[in-house]
Structure 1
Amino acid sequence: MKHFLIILLLVSSPAFCQDLAVGQHLPAFTVSNDQQTIKSMDLKGKVVLINFFATWCGPCMQELPQMQQFWATHKSNKNLVVLVIGREHTQSEITAFKAKKGFELPMYPDENRTVYSLFATQYIPRNYLIDAKGKIAYTSVGFEQGEFNKMLSKIDELLKQQQ
């Protein structure tokens, strides 16, 4: 019985979730909002930051203003694509949320977790950084300032490789 409980705890821990990891390829997906449609196959050759969030998520609300600042200073970089995806949100919810918060980030609804389920099974906020070859170069779960800064450094490193 004791061994069964240990195995059950290990299998149910976040470390054993079937989440995409560094080195794996970006899965095929399409996201659309009221302005554009993005297909993952069109992202090759770009550095891509994918953020999954929800409007009710406290850690997401800590992270998104910083994501907005990052976007504001990097949005003109043609080698970078930022996709902020609202897990279980409709387009109208995303539009209202952006207006209320004053965000200009490119946000996309994922009402049925169609895209999210290709990356992870649970937990937000979640970030995936994809290199120009289409491989995952960095991942994070939750929000912690030091980890967010580490991600920004990794983005800078990948963008320098593009020059």
Structure 2
Amino acid sequence: MKRLTVLIILAFFAINIFAQDEFTLVKEGDAAPDFSIRMEDGSVKKLSDLKGKVVWINFFADWCPPCRKELPYLEKDVYQKLKQNKSFEVLVIGREHDWATVNKFKADNNYTLPFYPDPERDIFSKYAKQNIPRNFIIDKNGKIVVASIGFKEDEFNEIIEKVNKLLN
């Protein structure tokens, strides 16, 4: 009985890992899919306009516990340290959130990170089908160099190291 239980647990984890890969639509080495974000003032920001910069894209939701755990690290260990670097940009994108939701979440948590809404999953659906948080690092040539799912502090620190290497 114990063996069967262990096999079932191992099979569940194997299926879960496979499913995560199945839900990712882009991989490291791919050109980052372009997208546009409509700003609150009506202007448009496009990913392609950021070519020549290292871009950190984070997909989150305000109800997601791993997202809530990850965002303070993104604020303190990434954004606060690199926001003055003109070759770097962070885009924190609220999956299925509107401007009111991302602005409230930002204010309630005292974040200075740049948050953007993706109310219809238009942006997210270019990168993945499901599972958050997700981080994508885009190099200066517009290629994906990191595609991660979930939050683990050691993996997050490895992403930071990679970003610092890209910026140097």
Alignment RMSD (CA, Å) = 1.8
Cα distance change of structure 1 residues 18 and 143 upon mapping to structure 2, 3 Å threshold: closer
> Is residue 2:27 matched to residue 1:15?
no
Counterpart secondary structure, 1:15 = helix
Q: Map 1:13-162; keep pairs closer than 5 Å.
A: 13-34=19-40, 37-69=44-76, 70-160=78-168
Over residues 47-89 of structure 1, what are the superposed CA-to-partner deviations in whole Å (9 max), with x where a residue is unaligned?
0000000000000011001111121121110000100000000
Q: TM-score, normalised by structure 1?
A: 0.88
The one-letter amino acid paired with 1:79 is S
Aligned equivalents of 2:143, 2:129: Cα separation in 1: 19
Structure 2, unmatched stretches of 5+, are 1-10
Cα distance change of structure 1 residues 48 and 86 upon mapping to structure 2, 3 Å threshold: same
Counterpart secondary structure, 2:57 = strand
Structure 1, unmatched stretches of 5+, are 1-5
Over residues 25-55 of structure 1, what are the superposed CA-to-partner deviations in whole Å (9 max), with x where a residue is unaligned?
0112101332663201111111000000000
CA contact (8 A) 1:33 1:107 kept: no
> What's the CA shift for 1:13?
1.7
CA contact (8 A) 1:52 1:85 kept: yes
Deviates most, 114-123 or 66-75: 66-75
Q: TM-score, normalised by structure 2?
A: 0.86
Aligned equivalents of 1:57, 1:17: Cα separation in 2: 18
> What's the CA shift for 1:18?
4.4
Structure 1 stretches of 4+ moved >4 Å: none
